Structure 1
């Protein structure tokens, strides 16, 4: 069976996104250099502008790509929200750049929501609300608050500042995951 070869435009776009991931993760939006990431992709600055409209567009496209890939890898499971949080934890451990990119976005563009991500967020919050109305999830917190608490609990370990990381360094990887699952279970009253 022949392998699928994406069109050249799709391949160049994917190559630029991969180079952008490394550049933006390391330097953020302000510190990233289009010339440097284009060179790493074997491309040029004009291609970045052609495919993404500029550095901001490339950053947004990368953030959407990465967050969407996480949500695809770990679809929301309101029937087992604690287990879902554990799986989300696993994916964020495997892909540490996603948390860094989200942090750069919050730091450098706090007033600029990415429309696609806002729509995805609204969809999952609506799913949490449906589960609350069906009494699958507790109603103690508003749907958006509950979802936010679960997500932040899932990424807790990767979001620790260096000053706090040392005090929990002895906690093993399996135990970290279990802490996430237990904490979300407690949040849900289980």
Structure 2
């Protein structure tokens, strides 16, 4: 059987995603990642160099997938945040991964800085505002979109009503909040 290095790399990224979502960077274990990927630890170091670099690769890969699934819409922030909300509901692990990153590393990677800079510049151009206010607006919009997902299920739905209906209502509230914030920024 021929060795497929791209398949091995993909398995490592998938296994690492699950491990980092569950345990964060500090708690993740290279041995568990290798075992889950049916690879050896040396493959992790050969492809990525270190556990930290593997974490960066996982985060960059998953954020790129998210960006491809939910293109930034500076001309329609409510639609963008609704689509982002939907996607994060489908893949809550990504939000958890970004939270681990924020807890364990305060520095932004070059790809994160570049992505945020491009979005802020596009938003500033569309709204006719400065770059700094556009960055502030982006942070508010993202915080509003993620707030519900970051709360515990018991707080999101304290009376135990239909979760799907609750999610639809919250999505509508998130969109309305972003619409108001965006309108106030013009």
Match of 1:51 among 31, 47, 67: 47
1:105-184 map, 5 Å: 105-110=101-106, 112-133=107-128, 142-161=133-152, 164-165=155-156, 167=158, 170=161, 172-184=166-178
Runs of 5+ in structure 2 lacking a partner? none
Change (3 A) 1:122 1:58: same
1:61 is matched with: 57
Cα deviations by residue, 1:39-86 (Å, 9 ceiling, x for unpaired): 000001100001111100000000011111111111111221111110
Match of 1:22 among 12, 18, 25: 18
Structure 1 CA distance for aligned equivalents of residues 57 and 176 of structure 2: 34
Of the structure 1 ranges 169-178 and 180-189, higher mean CA displacement relative to structure 2 is found in: 169-178
Matched, 1:96 2:92: yes
Measured after TM superposition, the shift of residue 189 of structure 1 is: 2.6
RMSD, matched Cα: 2.0
Structure 2 CA distance for aligned equivalents of residues 164 and 76 of structure 1: 29
Cα deviations by residue, 1:120-160 (Å, 9 ceiling, x for unpaired): 11111111111122xxxx77x70101011111111121112
Structure 2 CA distance for aligned equivalents of residues 10 and 125 of structure 1: 34
Measured after TM superposition, the shift of residue 162 of structure 1 is: 6.4
Measured after TM superposition, the shift of residue 167 of structure 1 is: 4.2
Structure 2 CA distance for aligned equivalents of residues 187 and 167 of structure 1: 27
Change (3 A) 1:104 1:168: farther
Contact 2:24 2:100 in 1 (8 A): yes
TM-score after normalising by structure 1: 0.86
1:41 is matched with: 37
